[in-house]
Every structure is written in C-alpha cells, then in structure tokens.
C-alpha cells in the first residue's frame, strides 16, 4: 500500500471539478414477503448446520460430503440462494409467490417516467440476476464468459468482433477452443456450456417489463440491452435513448455498465441488486452521473437519482453494509497518506457467514453479535498495527543509537587527525604540494599516483590469493592499504582499498579501487582533504539521530486510542454470547417438550414453544 501511494496519482470526484450532475442516493427498503420469511428461516438453519438442515427442500445438495457429514460448499450455495431470494423467490422456484421488490421498483420507475414526460427523461435498471437468455447457445456462452475470463482469452476463443461476424462458428469448434485456451476437460467444457444455457426459473427482465407496461408505459419504450449486440445495434440503441425514443433500458453490469453512452436524458438509475465490488456500483452510476447529461442540467437542477432496492432481513442488508465498508476503505487507501490496516482481502473471498446468518435471522441479539464481532476484528487489527508501529519505533531507536556510536567514533578520529593537515607541505603560493609514494617510488601528480596503485593492484590480483593484504601506496603520510577479494556477483577478483591516518586510524569507507587512473588518485586525495567537511556532516548526523530518538520516544509513550472501546466491545460480546446460549437452551427444551408430546400422541396446546427465538 505504501508503494501504491508513492506511484499513484488518484483523480476522482473529491479532487476534480467536472461539469456533471450530482447523484442523490436513496435506499428503498422492501418488506419481505411471507414466502421470503419462511425461506430465510430455513436458510438460516441450513447455514448453522453447515449444509444439513433443509438442504433438499431448498435444493442445496450439490457438493455434500457424506463422510464428513457437512457440505464444504454450503457458504457459496447459501450466498447464491440468498441473492436470488433477496430479489424474488421465483428465481428459486417459479411456483413460489412473488416478492415485493420488483413491484415497488416498478411503481417508482413508472412514477418518474410520467413525471419526466415533458422532456422524455430516461432511466436505467440494473440486475445481474435473472438476465434474459438467447436462443443461440454460442451467444449464451460468449455472454457467460465475457468479463469472467481475460479479454485476450475471450478473443482467442470467439475471435474479434464476435457479434459482427456474418458467419458464426459451430458450437463444437467453440467448445474445442474453450478446452484448449482455458485448459478444461471435455466434461468441464460440457458443464460450462450447460450452465451458460441453463434456463432460468424466472426472468426478472420480462417480469419488470410486464409490470411497467401494466402501469401504462409503452412496450416499445422498454428494452433489454441484451438484445443489442452488434456495433450497429448498440449505436442505434444509444441514439434512440439519447433522443428519448426509448426511455427505459434494463441490463446487467457487464452489458450496461461499461461502454454505454446514453447520458443525454438519463435522470435515474435503479439497482435491483448489487455486486460485492464497489467498482461495479461506480460503473453503473457512471452511465448517467457524467458530462453531457443535458436533461439533468436543464430540468433537474443538475441532479440525478440513484435508487437502491433492498429487501429487509435478507442478504441485501449484509451486501450493502459490506460494499459500503470496502468502498470507504478503498477511498481512504487511495486518498490518505496513512495505512493503519495493512492487508486487504477481496470481499468475495471473505464473506462473514456469521453476519449473513444474523441478517437473515432478524433477531437483534444476533445482529448485535455480528456487529460486535466485526468491530472487534477491526479494532484488533488496528491494535496489531499500533503494536507493530511501536516495535518499528523501538527498532528505529536501536538503529539510531548504533549509528550515533559509529558517527561518534568517526568524529573522534577526525578531531585528532584533522590537525595533521597542517603538516602537509605547501609551495610559495600556499598551495598543497602533492607528495605520494608507491613501492618506494615517489609521485607528484595525481594521475601517475593512480596509475601506480592500479598496477600494484593488478599484480596482486594475478599473483596473490584472495584475502592477501598489502600496501598500495602513501599520500602525505596517509597509508593506502589494499586487499584482494573475490566478487561472486561479477565472478572476478578485485582489490578493495582503505585509508589509514598517520596515527593508524581508518579514515572514511572501504571501497573498491577505481579502474581509472585519475579517479583512483583523486579518491584518496579528496578523502584526506574532505575530513573537515565530513566532521561537520557526522556532527549534524549525530544531532539528527538524537532528534529522531526523541520523536520515536514520544510515539512510544502514546497508548492505543481504542483500547477502552475494544475492552468494552469484548465484554459486551461475552454477555451477548451468554444470552445466545440461554436462548439455545430454551429452544432445546422446547424441542424436548414437543418430542415428548408427539410421542404421547398429543397435540401441543400452544404454538409458543415452536416459535423461533433466533
């Protein structure tokens, strides 16, 4: 995340000023039907029993493990079931009585339709569930895979501009390509094709259109984007919507959420369902909350409406809450400089089944427990991050103390060595006289001195073993020592050099002897002459490290700001658990009473003992 903030330049609604309408977001809560309530109750038992209770009645038997006595896929099955149930029970079984979400949505959509007749305002309806199927099996396969596999793989399987082709490929050829590109067996490809072409129990799109037409909206003004696939068909559709000839378009995020330019008259978007990804919601709303929306500017005070339809006591509540939390986290990650939480998990891989069961139960005790567990998890993560930062501060203090000792050693050496610079001979102009020696040979020029040292180094590399130490040369009574070393990285021998003062103290760092004559000589000369400047630099470094230690020490004195809240939440959770255990015992006793009465052949006098407590 640190790297992201270093390289990313984020531009969004918070830091850009664009001429586009502002969306007003409205959550419309839908009361569940009797059918939904009954199925919610059974699904809760299915979740709590890990795929045992009511599995056959709910049709959730796929993947059951007889040996373990559980269904490892119970979570995925429950999520898919709950998503359909939240929208309309008929998606599960067409014989079920309808839910109320589609009816409530159709009322709102038709109301807006007639209110905006004067300027032919248009509306978009999104649903990723219950999408219409084509009669063409290859089209259904294309739509099924589009967006779920890399675009390059999709192009390799179906070719470019699939819907523009005059001659369509055979199903057998497409299946062979899918097997080759996606590395699937024939059976897996067959299952994929069957899934893509499976008929829906109930068509949400057709039902929504029927409800809208029943409310007086002309049938030809309500269309499904799934019926417009070629480039020409899409262009004609976009033109008709922007003119106001077609005023309501239904589609999925995949089909209607990207690459759709119908903003001219768009005044409302309706979300019948939502995805786990905040980016999908942004894409949907981006169809009308954008530049070029003339109707919003002229007739709606440059405002548009986004409606979210959620059925209470269903997965809708959990999904909206989860997506909200993820959206906030992503926004903070992109736009703030601090990162208290260090890991990000994809929501689809981290759905809290406990929270889901709590939402389905409708029991406030379970809801409170789910909220407590979630907050405790957040605070615990923050506490871990806080402790980790404290450890970093302690580690930084240790490193600073180590660096201070090293700098102080250098300062002590330089303080007693710098006075020796006064003994360097000078000419009548006061300029230093260059006096160097290599192998008892004197040199008065920097380049010659460097050449001689390089010659000595080459001789040592050729004839001396690794680890051999020798005198490379001298300058102003400062001795240059050499050492033969082996570079495994470059697979060769090299000579490193270090400089010793007349008092035999090491000056500066150990470095590889440069291969250039002037560089080799100048490096030694400057190391000696730069000692006063380095003394000041080391002294400044010492002061800075001391300041850093003071700042780190202050940070160590801070206490975790949420400690009291975390302890309070943990204490409350223990009380909630006690209440739940008591409720479970109460339910167990009720079941025992019922079993006893049934064994005696008696009918219970009161239904209270059967009443669900959670």
Nearest to 367 by CA among 377, 382, 357, 378: 357
* pLDDT at residue 553 greater than cutoff 50: yes
Mean of pLDDT values over 174-188:
89
- pLDDT for 595: 52
Percent of the chain surpassing pLDDT 70:
84
Provide mean pLDDT across the span 75-95.
Answer: 89
Among 357-361, 446-450, 604-608, the range scoring the smallest mean pLDDT is 604-608
Bridge-based pairing of strands 22-30 and 303-311 is parallel
Give 447's pLDDT tier (boundaries 50, 70, 90).
Answer: very high
Q: At what angle do helices 151-158 and 137-145 cross, to 10 degrees?
A: 160
The Cα-based distances of 564 to 45, 342, 567, 568 in angstroms read 36, 22, 5, 6
Q: Give the pLDDT of residue 588.
A: 60
Distance, in Å, from the CA atom of 198 to the CA atom of 339, rounded to the nearest integer, reads 45
Q: Has residue 9 got a pLDDT over 70?
A: no
Distance CA 539, CA 408 (A): 8
Lowest mean per-residue pLDDT among 39-43, 52-56, 345-349, 397-401? 345-349
- Cα within 13 Å of Cα(51), Cβ side: 18
Lowest mean pLDDT among 277-291, 359-373, 520-534: 359-373
**pLDDT, the chain, mean:** 83
Are the beta carbons of 215 and 246 closer than 8 angstroms? no
Q: What pLDDT sits at residue 608?
A: 27
User: Residue range 91-111: average pLDDT?
Assistant: 92
> Can you tell me the mean pLDDT for 334-354?
43
Per residue in 194-234, pLDDT (tens digit) is: 888 876 668 899 999 999 999 999 999 999 998 898 889 99
Q: For residue 275, what pLDDT is reported?
A: 79
Return the CA Rg of the chain: 38
Write down the residue that tokens 């270093």 correspond to.
Answer: 6
What is the distance between the alpha carbons of residues 531 and 506, in angstroms, rounded to a whole number? 12
Model pLDDT, residue 48: 85
Partners of residue 492 on adjacent β-strands: 487
Alpha carbons 357 and 360: distance in angstroms, whole number: 5
| Nearest CA among 91, 93, 180, 175 for reference residue 140 | 175
Confidence of residue 609 (pLDDT cuts 50, 70, 90): very low
* pLDDT over 60 at 602, yes or no: no
pLDDT at 78: 87
Instruction: Give the model's pLDDT for residue 12.
Output: 52
Domains of the chain in sequence order: 1-31+97-132+202-312 (3.40.50.300), 134-198 (no CATH), 419-553 (no CATH)
Taking residues 490-510, report their average pLDDT.
Answer: 91
Of the chain, the percentage scoring pLDDT greater than 90 comes to 43
Taking alpha carbons only, the member of 573, 569, 574 closest to residue 380 is 569
Cα distances from 258 to residues 10, 20, 68, 235, 279, in angstroms, run 20, 18, 44, 14, 11
**Per-residue model confidence as pLDDT tens digits over 231-263:** 899 999 999 999 999 999 999 988 888 888 899
Distance CA 56, CA 239 (A): 49
Q: Which residue is it, tokens 């793989």? A: 153
List, as one string, the DSSP characters of 274-320: --S-HHHHHHHHTTTSSTT-HHHHHHSTTEEEEEEEEETTSHHHHHH
**What average pLDDT does range 91-112 have in this prediction?**
92
- pLDDT score, position 610: 32
- Banded pLDDT at 468 (limits 50, 70, 90): very high
- Alpha helices (H) in 88-203, listed in sequence order: 101-115, 137-145, 151-158, 171-182, 186-196
Confidence of residue 345 (pLDDT cuts 50, 70, 90): very low
Q: 566-595, pLDDT tens digit by residue?
A: 999 999 999 988 887 887 676 566 555 555
pLDDT above 70 for 453: yes
3-state secondary structure of 270: strand
- Using pLDDT thresholds of 50, 70 and 90, give the confidence band for residue 350: very low
């Amino acid at each position: 995340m640190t790297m992201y903030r270093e390289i990313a330049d984020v531009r969004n609604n918070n830091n850009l000023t664009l001429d586009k309408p502002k969306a007003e977001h409205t959550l419309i809560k839908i009361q569940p039907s009797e059918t939904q309530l009954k199925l919610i109750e059974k699904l809760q038992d299915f979740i709590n029993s890990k795929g045992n209770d009511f599995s056959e009645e709910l049709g959730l038997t796929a993947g059951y493990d007889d040996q373990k006595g559980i269904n490892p896929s119970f979570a995925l099955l429950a999520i898919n079931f709950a998503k359909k149930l939240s929208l309309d029970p008929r998606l599960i079984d067409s014989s079920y009585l309808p839910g109320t979400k589609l009816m409530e949505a159709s009322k709102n959509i038709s109301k807006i339709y007639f209110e905006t007749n004067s300027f032919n305002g248009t509306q978009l309806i999104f649903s990723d569930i219950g999408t219409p199927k084509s009669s063409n099996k290859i089209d259904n396969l294309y739509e099924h895979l589009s967006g779920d596999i890399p675009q390059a793989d999709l192009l390799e399987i179906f070719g470019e501009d699939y819907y523009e082709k005059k001659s369509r490929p055979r199903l057998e050829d497409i299946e062979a390509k899918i097997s080759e590109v996606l590395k699937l067996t024939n059976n897996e490809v067959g299952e994929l094709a069957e899934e893509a072409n499976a008929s829906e129990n109930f068509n949400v799109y057709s039902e929504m259109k029927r409800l809208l037409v029943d409310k007086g909206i002309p049938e030809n003004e309500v269309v499904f984007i799934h019926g417009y696939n070629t480039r020409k068909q899409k262009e004609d559709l976009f033109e008709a919507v922007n003119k106001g000839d077609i005023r309501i378009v239904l589609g999925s995020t995949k089909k209607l959420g990207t690459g759709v330019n119908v903003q001219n008259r768009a005044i409302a978007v309706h979300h019948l369902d939502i995805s786990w990804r905040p980016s999908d919601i942004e894409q949907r709303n981006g169809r009308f909350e954008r530049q070029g929306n003339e109707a919003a500017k002229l007739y709606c005070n440059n405002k548009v409406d986004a409606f979210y339809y959620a059925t209470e006591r269903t997965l809708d509540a959990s999904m909206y809450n989860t997506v909200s939390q993820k959206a906030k986290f992503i926004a903070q990650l992109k736009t703030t400089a601090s990162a208290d939480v260090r890991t990000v998990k994809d929501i689809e891989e981290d759905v809290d089944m406990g929270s889901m069961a709590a939402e389905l139960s409708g029991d406030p005790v379970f809801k409170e427990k789910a909220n407590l567990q979630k907050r405790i998890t957040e605070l615990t993560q923050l506490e871990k991050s806080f402790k980790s930062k404290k450890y970093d501060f302690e580690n930084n203090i240790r490193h600073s103390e180590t660096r201070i000792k090293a700098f102080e050693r250098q300062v002590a050496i330089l303080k007693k060595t710098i006075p020796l610079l006064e003994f360097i001979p000078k000419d009548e102009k006061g300029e230093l006289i260059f006096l160097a020696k290599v192998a008892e040979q004197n040199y008065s020029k920097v380049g010659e001195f460097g050449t001689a040292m390089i010659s000595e180094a080459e001789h040592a590399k050729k004839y001396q073993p690794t680890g051999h130490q020798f005198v490379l040369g001298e300058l102003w009574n400062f001795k240059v020592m050499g050492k033969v070393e082996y570079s495994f990285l470059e697979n060769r021998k090299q000579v490193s050099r270090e400089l010793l003062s007349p008092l035999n103290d090491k000056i500066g760092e150990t470095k590889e002897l440069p291969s250039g004559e002037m560089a080799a000589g100048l490096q030694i000369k400057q190391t000696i002459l730069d000692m006063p400047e380095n003394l000041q630099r080391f002294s400044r470094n010492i002061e800075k490290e001391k300041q850093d230690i003071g700042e780190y020490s202050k940070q160590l004195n801070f206490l975790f700001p949420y400690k009291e809240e975390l302890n309070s939440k943990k204490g409350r959770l223990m009380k909630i658990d006690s209440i739940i255990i008591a409720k479970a015992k109460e339910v167990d006793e009720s079941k025992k009473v019922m079993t006893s009465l049934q064994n005696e052949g008696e009918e219970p006098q009161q239904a209270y003992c059967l009443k669900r407590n959670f």
